[in-house]
Amino acid sequence: MNAHSNPRPAIRSDWTREEIAALFDLPFNDLLWQAQAAHRENHEANAVQLSTLLSIKTGGCPEDCGYCNQSVHAETGLKATKLMDVRAVLQSAAQAKDAGSTRFCMGAAWRNPKDRDMPAIVEMVKGVRQMGMETCMTLGMLTETQARTLADAGLDYYNHNIDTSPERYEAVITTRTFEDRIETLEHVREAGINVCCGGIVGMGETRADRVGFIHALATLPVHPESVPVNALVPVKGTVLGDMLADTPLAKIDEIEFVRTVAVARIAMPGSMVRLSAGRESMSDAAQALCFMAGANSIFTGDKLLTTDNAGDDRDAALFAKLGVTPMAAQCKVELAAE
């Protein structure tokens, strides 16, 4: 049966938790069949976007996110840095473009940006955009004014993850609330910037939490245009890294991770589902299953902010093995400043 033989289903924001849980419970092959059909209805079948993520300001963050080695509460020996020079950021972006990336993401370890930092941030966005790349920023919580400033600069996406289910949120982070995250997402949406919002699995959560995580995203009034799904990279010295060390929970089961990607694809068929942190420890087979399940973006390079990543050579070899091609640069989503 051809995946295109049925009319394209409407994108829904009225999913129930029971429906999401029922997807997770499907036989694995049935779940992947549904996910691949949803993927082909909405996206190019064998194209994956190459993205690059640069830490433009590392460490010293006052938030206490249990997974993050950039928190001042973590004891990882990570040295805090100041905001990078604009020229250095643009040089990194040019190198990423030369390596095949069509999307450049910039992350700063802040609770929220200071207004004095905004002019440099604006120059970074404009400079990367002039190269013809998609731009994404993750800077922490934003005010309405800051969101409008980023929109005026032409920022394509703003990343602000909900991390986990609403119920589990305070077990992972205590310095802000789940509602704080939603408020920033609303500011971003109102400013006309595309939303990038996902989370992390493998933090010792239950499947019910993974159901709650996807349910929270899939019932937003408008789905995030970009949904990164991360596998926790447990770092010694972080709360979760130490808590999960040497336990069976220290690594998410690969089949369960693929299930999470597939359910995200079915529930949010129009979104880019991004296979993000944790790929460096995944087998080629697991990554291939993630692409089958509907993931259509990866982060390239040897580093992902401050943790190891798979690397360009390994990715190129995997793509060749699978017959997957890097997605061409495109502006398929309405850009905020145009």
Instruction: Give me the active site residues, please.
Output: 61, 65, 68, 105, 136, 196, 274
Closest Cα partner for 188 from 157, 228, 234? 157
**Contact status, residue 227 vs residue 272, Cβ threshold 8 Å:** yes
Handedness of CA 85, 87, 93, 96 (dihedral sign): negative
Radius of gyration of the chain (CA): 19
Cα 251 from chain centroid (whole Å): 19
Task: Tell me the three-class secondary structure of 231-276, residue by residue.
Answer: ECCCCECEHHHHHHCCCHHHCCCHHHHHHHHHHHHHHCCCCEEEEC
- Counting every residue written for the chain, the total comes to 338
Strand partners, 196: 159, 226
Strand partners, 232: none
Cα separation, 57 vs 82, in Å, equals 6
Distances (CA, A) of 97 to 61, 84, 220, 301, 320: 29, 19, 32, 12, 20
Closest Cα partner for 124 from 191, 188, 71, 57? 57
Helices 254-267 and 284-292 meet at what angle, rounded to 10? 20
Cα separation, 331 vs 239, in Å, equals 40
325-326 vs 307-308, strand pairing mode = unpaired
